Amino acid sequence: MEERIVFHVDFDYFFAQCEELRNLDLKTKPVAVCVFSDRGGDSGAIATANYLARKYGVKSGMPIRFAKKRLEGVKDAVFLPTDFDYYSEISQKAMDVMKEFADVFEYVGRDEAYLEVSKRTEGSFVNAAHLAQQLKNAIRYSVKLSCTVGISSNKLVSKIASDFKKPDGLTIVSPDKIETFLDPLPIRSIPGIGKKTEEKFTEMGFQTISELKKLDVFSLNSQFGRKNCFSC
């Protein structure tokens, strides 16, 4: 039986990268794309920021006023409102490119998708690496966007892998390397584990995935409950 191979494709700082497409001057400036609230002024939060802005500590979810404080004194910093219609248009073009590379395609959101590629790679991770690079090149040529790809035998590890080397990265985790790859990562690397849950694990003395593996299900239930979702 051929090995199952799954790509998780994640576009780098998607909203800000889209803004750079229509204004090339933004590529050399710290850019933050903002979701402004109805209260006016600087109320609202950062949707995403390019990597120049991130060097100053600006990140997704940060209140706009805090982000402006971080970029205070940076004369060429740019704050832009979201343009979801435009982002959706760019996203659709990129998704159409990705579909051509997939046995099975799963849309997740404007900036990410899963691709099952087991058949066309013949279950080979070497072939998968070549296919992923071809995909990245095709997206860059057709849509002018960079993306990061994580490759493994399942969706969860692929998603974690796509966040491992950013931007414009490619991380391959073959089945025999999964434990080695995951063990040293912080618990927060697991999708769905948020800040509060991470803090709780830290209080319990667990900081890495390797350490978390030592925790039995009964202890988890007693701390978080059976129905708890690690998204808090």
Each residue's pLDDT tens digit, 61-81 = 999 999 999 999 898 999 999
Q: Are residues 154 and 113 in the same domain?
A: yes
The alpha carbon dihedral of 93, 99, 12, 129 has a sign of negative
Cβ partners under 8 Å of residue 70, min gap 6: 56, 57, 58, 62
- pLDDT value at residue 1: 55
List the domain range (segments joined by +) for residue 91.
Answer: 6-13+85-177
187: domain CATH number?
1.10.150.20
Q: Considering 19, 20, 112, 198, which one is annotated as catalytic? A: 112
CA dist., res. 194 & res. 190, Å (int): 9
Q: Are residues 121 and 101 in the same domain?
A: yes
End-of-domain residue from the set 83, 105, 122: 83
Which tokens in the block code for residue 76?
């060429």
pTM of the full predicted structure? 0.86
Domain presence at residue 21? yes
The reply to whether 112 belongs to the active site is: yes
Q: Are residues 95 and 73 in the same domain?
A: no
Residue pLDDT, tens place only, 87-120? 999 999 999 999 999 999 999 999 999 999 999 9
Q: Are residues 54 and 95 in the same domain?
A: no
Average pLDDT over residues 118-141: 97
